[in-house]
Structure 1
């Protein structure tokens, strides 16, 4: 059996293009762009820096003779869509998730991959590519002569001499004449040395990231060559008996859910002492855990499934397909219970996120069932990743904080009930919906958001469209309470504000 090192060496590229001076110049330009744009915050600047990195990697890939494939275009466009989330929405967690997804998709676009190993190992590969990228650039440029050296070096020398002369004589003129001092002060750039450490760090991050992606584009690892020994087949009875028991357990749960849905819940609820709504709201988190664990069970069972004869393979498809089908009942039940829970207590970021993840797991089970019904399932790894990343993109672009605020405000307009703790710490995405609240609820809900927006007003490239819209709304309708944290308004609204509300 080959060792782990042998399997890793098997993924080495057959050929990697050598770096050129243009690669280094493009990385330096990306670093300067990053240091300039990202200092004040994130917004459209992430998309700009990401596009610059993508252009540099694309030039290297073209020079290496690589062809653009359809899946490369899909991953690249989806990565750019994810980078657009911070430019449009202000929700921090969703933006962070989108940026992480964009990095993973960019790496997958450059590495390629069809099998599970190729796809899953390519996604995080961007994390460890920068260091090899720097070494690759240094080794390639160390012995290379600089093109046009005879023309460039004299120009650099002349610029250095001119800078020294202008600095010395400029300081002397400025000290000799006040008018000259004012003129030179207006002409000379202002340098804030307090910004230098962070801008230097941003420059290094941008340049090294660009070199890492260029290194990958020049010759990516072929993670599809990373093979794992198939699991030892179990005898049919040894393998099938646990799955049959699990299928029966899932089937019993499905029958109980059908009884409740069809209205015959009295017999089920008589011994519990719960109402129908209480029964519907309990158990969501456990059902979510069951959904995730079922995927693990399916993966492990598929690895050890008997596959010697057509009958073995048929039994494996039936039992695993039935488990996936019954898991969809668990997904539907979990989503229904969370719906009742949200209707009773309001929506929060965590509840929305778990709803989204549970819905995506349902899609994964549908894909697994479809793969079991088809002769070829080599499309499954890429489509599963595609569905996950599309979910992240839609989740970010719709604005989770906006959805949370809309649901809570709609609930208030129907029932005059709102838990302000669910909305007070949302981002600027929530302002249009929370602005519909009456006083004092409006001031209590918006005070912390207004404080965050007032404390930071960056340029257009370092803010989101939602933040600018929120500033306009708050400027047109100022809050009525001057407290820094809205404690007075929250007290009037019946909410105690403190470290443990």
Structure 2
């Protein structure tokens, strides 16, 4: 079956192209006149990298007459693939499939309206370079990702990026500034696993890289586009398989053997020579054998199933990226209708009351700030840490709920004229400004809490999230002044930038640095907590005096020892530095000494 390159499924898929509410299997009749011609395929919209305007739904002719129904019924004449006179071919195919399903009792459902609106455009023939890049991406994934993430992740993704670039150039898509920003950000995020050993920043970086990669391929600008763009990889994977299969079939019958056979023979001879002489030199010299074993991936028969799955994953990722680059989904066609505008009193009264509540709370916070914490703590009977811990989480939730309130308020805001728009800016701008004070108060409480109990992964994570929420509020305020057209992309970009900075700053290293500084200041340290940190914490923990240094590094050292020898393409920079430090200054303290210092006490720290 040939590929349905214009994004409309073939008869077996049964997509909806028109239909009535009473009978979705029957195309809707036209009101009058001849049927409208189907619009041209959306190659230009897909090729430009921008969202096209929704295509008008072609009007359908009246239902066939009794004379024509026999010829137009399934299994007769036009059922072989030719639509009768007056029928749109797509609507005719859809009608036939649904009628057959209705007669056979088969279940079917019309596609969602948003999926129909975002359907990708037509893609041209798959370039040969894309097929080659897909194979190379599969091989690189199988070789470099079987032992873990690290620099090998970048090596495995480079062929997929090349496939997307070739497909976009073939489709004559032009790179816009935002596309370059998303692409560079995606590559930068993929470098985080190569730099940091901690798994949680790397996971966040991979998720953010998927988002930026989807935005680079689909060119989305609106809120639906930004939120739904990652889903385009699913559709692009299915279409990419069909796209590649169609290209392979078209090349199978007309392969120019005189052109490709010499290249294949030369490549085969080169591989044989490399294997033969490489094995001879490795057996002749131990140093060369050690170098060769360190550079080449270690592949065994036992991990062949995993390597094969990684090959499929890498090849499918490259095909999906190329297919999306050639003909992206048009997520920006999805339109969310605004809510019913409310009157000024109905809309503003709850927000004004909320603003007054925020103002009262912030006044108390400012009084505490200038009046000193001692007076407040004396009157409440709380310690610094208890006072900080008591309110941080509530203030974090208050910030999140405020963003939800702003989103709902904008949906039902009055918008009769310029006066209403100015009124909305004043009310919501006041709420945003007061919320920034709440964010500052929450961060100050976290600072007090960290001074009392030290820094942990959870605390640094929620503090980073609170900072990003404050940045989002600033972006909302700027959108009220300069326009909201760029707000979805700015929010997505700020989230990705926050994840990138979070990973580059090494949160585990920050936790270790802060706690070591705290120990040097007041002699307090929790050695048990360090056992769960990653190798990124080793440089900071290495500054502790013995035996606390060895006890703090004991868990990390055991984890690295259990991992054995790790190839270069699976080792992060943080792990490499940790192994060097532990090799030069091994862990010396005994189990009994570390146990007496509380190293193995199991506890959970918030």
TM-score normalised according to structure 2 size: 0.73
Tell me by how many angstroms 1:192 deviates: 2.4
In structure 1, the residue matched to 2:489 is 382
CA distance in 1, matches of 2:504, 2:422: 42
Provide, for residues 125-182 of structure 1, a one-character-per-residue CA deviation record: whole Å limited to 9, x for no partner. Answer: 33553233212222343344365443479779999xx9xxxxxxxxxxxxxxxxxxx9
Equivalent of residue 117 in structure 1, options 214, 218, 224: 224
Matched, 1:494 2:575: no
What does residue range 130-149 of structure 1 map to in structure 2 within 5 Å?
130-145=237-252, 148-149=255-256
User: Structure 2 vs 1, CA of residues 207 and 280 (structure 1 numbering), >3 Å: closer, same or farther?
Assistant: same
Residue 391 (str. 1) matches residue 498 (str. 2):
yes
Q: Relative to structure 1, is the Cα distance of residues 469 and 289 closer, same or farther in structure 2, using a 3 angstrom cutoff?
A: same
2:428 matched residue in structure 1: 320
- Tell me what 2:107 maps to: none
How far did 1:439 drift?
Answer: 2.3
Moved more, 228-237 or 142-151: 142-151
Instruction: Tell me if the contact between 2:134 and 2:159 (Cα under 8 Å) persists in the aligned partners.
Output: no
Q: SS in structure 2 opposite 1:100?
A: helix
| Corresponding residue of 1:92 | 199
Q: Are the equivalent residues in 1 in contact too, given 2:143–2:299 (CA < 8 A)?
A: no
Q: Mean Cα displacement is larger for which, 430-439 or 473-482?
A: 473-482
- Residues 1:70 and 2:177 aligned together: yes
Distance in 2 between residues matched to 1:410 and 1:118, nearest whole Å: 45
Distance 1:77 1:56 in 2: 16
How many Å separate the matches in 2 of 1:408 and 1:339? 13
Match of 2:144 in 1: 37
- Secondary structure of 1:66's counterpart equals coil
Name the SS for the 1:12 alignment partner. Answer: coil
Deviation at 1:458, TM superposition (A): 1.7
1:229-263 C-alpha deviation (Å, 9 max, x unpaired): 11111222111111111111111110010110011
- SS of residue paired to 2:380: coil
Query: What are the ranges of 5 or more consecutive residues in structure 2 without an aligned counterpart?
Result: 1-20, 22-56, 58-109, 270-282, 290-295
Q: Is the counterpart of residue 208 in structure 1 residue 308 in structure 2?
A: no
Shift of 1:297: 0.8
Aligned pair in 2 of structure 1 residues 344, 29: CA closer, same or farther (>3 Å)?
same
List alignment gaps of at least 5 residues for structure 1. Answer: 163-181
- The reply on whether 1:450 has 2:549 as its aligned counterpart is no
Q: In 2 relative to 1, CA 406–359 (structure 1 residues): closer, same or farther, beyond 3 Å?
A: same
- 1:308-345, Cα deviation, whole Å (9 max, x unpaired): 13232222111111111111011101100011111111
The 1:197/1:404 distance shift into structure 2, 3 A limit, reads same
Q: Which residue of 2 aligns with 1:171?
A: none
Alpha-carbon distance, 1:100 to partner: 1.5
Quote the residue 1:197 is aligned against: 305
Per-residue CA deviations over 1:412-439 (Å, capped at 9, x if unaligned) read 0101101223322111110000011122
Structure with the higher fraction of residues in helix conformation: 1
In 2, Cα distance between the equivalents of 1:94 and 1:264? 37
The Cα of 1:211 is off from its aligned counterpart by 0.8
Residues 104 and 122, structure 1, Cα contact 8 Å, conserved in 2: yes
Runs of 4 or more, structure 1, over 6 Å off, are 1-4, 152-159
Closer, same or farther in 2 for the Cα pair 1:407/1:270, shift >3 Å? closer
Tell me the TM-score normalized by structure 1.
0.88
CA contact (8 A) 1:104 1:124 kept: no
- The structure with the largest alpha-carbon Rg is 2
